[in-house]
Amino acid sequence: MNEETRGVTPSGIRKIILEQSYRAHVGHIGSALSVADILSVLYGGVLKTGGDRADRDRFALSKGHAALALYAALHLRGDISRAQLDSFCGEGSKLGVHPESCLPGVDFSTGSLGHGLSMAAGAALAARLQGSSRRVFALLSDGECNEGSIWEAAMFAAHRRLSGLTAIVDLNGQQAFGYTRDVMDMTPMADRWRAFGWEAHETDGHDAVALRRLLSAAPAADGRPRAVIARTVFGKGVPFMENKIKWHYWPMSEDEFRQAMAAVGGAQ
């Protein structure tokens, strides 16, 4: 971790998620909180995002509804200004609920689930064709894996041995209407990826050391793309939100905001 990336802390990301969602009065808080540690690791040194466009890594936030967590990471890295961050969900803003590639630092526009991994597979194929060692990461939600297109992309990436591609599945166990095990049970998630020809690893999605080790490991020598199944807690860091379906869409009241900020260590 260098000077530039040191500030991309999980608590910094969580604090911004809460501040901005409270200010803009929008939801998707729980989904953003569950990936704060993953984005902290990605933007805290794993992703090569600076320098020449040809050699920088690509990232697709396939679960686009967690864009606020991405904006927080980009802000903490210094890629977007405080003023830009404060435009979140404003009129004419480039920072909407879902990320748009017109915002510097966002490679792919997402928001419709099941799209990001296909684009990431194309980006990984492009890197190979161009002889570049740049890598491609896609962050998926577990509910998103209901989409058939995810598995189209999975079989393609395995067939083409796109080892430069890593899919991170945010296994927070929730989707819009309830727990994934009740809506559409995807267990055993890691075995599903393995069956599609991927190298799959399960980890605690809030363990920065484990995440960093998996995400910065060299691509598989046998060409398999890599799936990191990150077990996370929906709403992680804010006890009254954790594993509560309500926080998929619900915005915070003033009281809830104060409690939440105190929980993540932000003074209010």
Partner 1 sequence: MRGAFVKTLIELAAGDRRVLLLTGDIGYMALEPFAERFPDRFFNVGVAEQNMLGIATGLAEAGFVPFVYSIATFVSLRPYEFIRNGPVLHSLPVRVVGVGGGFEYGHNGITHHAVEDVAVMRAHPGMTVVSPADHEQARAALLATWNVPGPVYYRLGKDDRTVVPGLNGRFEAGRVQSLGGGKDLLILAMGSVAKEAAAAAETLRGKGVACTAAVAASVHPAPAGDLAALAGGFRHVMTVEAHYVNGGLGSMTAEVIAERGLPCRLTRCGVSLPPDGVSGSQGYLHRLHGIDRDSLVATGLRVVRGGA
Report the residue from 37, 79, 107, 199 that binds partner 1 according to the rule CB under 8 A.
107
Q: Taking CB under 8 A as the criterion, which residues in 153-212 touch partner 1?
A: 153, 155-156, 159-160
Among residues 13 and 74, whose Cβ is nearest to partner 1? 74
Q: How many C-beta atoms lie closer than 10 Å to residue 66's C-beta?
A: 29
| 149 sits near partner 1 (criterion: CB under 8 A) | yes
Kindly provide the residue ranges of all beta strands, DSSP E only, lying in the chain, ordered along the sequence.
58-60, 136-141, 165-171, 174-175, 178-179, 199-204, 226-231
Of 89, 97, 126, 245, the residue at the interface with partner 1 (CB under 8 A) is 126
- The nearest distance, CB 205 to partner 1, in angstroms, is 25
Tokens representing 81? 């200004």
Between residues 62 and 175, which has the closer beta carbon with respect to partner 1? 62
The nearest distance, CB 112 to partner 1, in angstroms, is 5
Residue 121 Cβ vs partner 1, minimum distance, rounded to whole Å? 5
Helix (H) or strand (E) holding 30: helix 29-34
- Among 14, 15, 28, 58, which residue interacts with partner 1 (rule: CB under 8 A)? 58
Tell me which residue of 167, 185, 183 sits closest to 175, measured CA to CA.
183
* Residues 71, 76: Cα–Cα separation, whole Å: 9
Least spacing, CB of residue 108 vs partner 1, in Å: 7
Rg of the Cα atoms in the chain: 17
Indicate the DSSP class of residue 43: I
CB 122 within 8 A of CB 58: no
> Of the two residues 34 and 62, which places its CB atom closer to partner 1 in the complex?
62
Interatomic CA distance for residues 266 and 194, integer angstroms: 40
- Is residue 97 a contact residue for partner 1 (CB under 8 A)? no
CB of 146 vs partner 1, minimal distance in Å: 14
Residues that bind partner 1 (CB under 8 A): 58, 100-101, 107-112, 114-115, 117-127, 129-130, 136, 148-149, 152-153, 155-156, 159-160
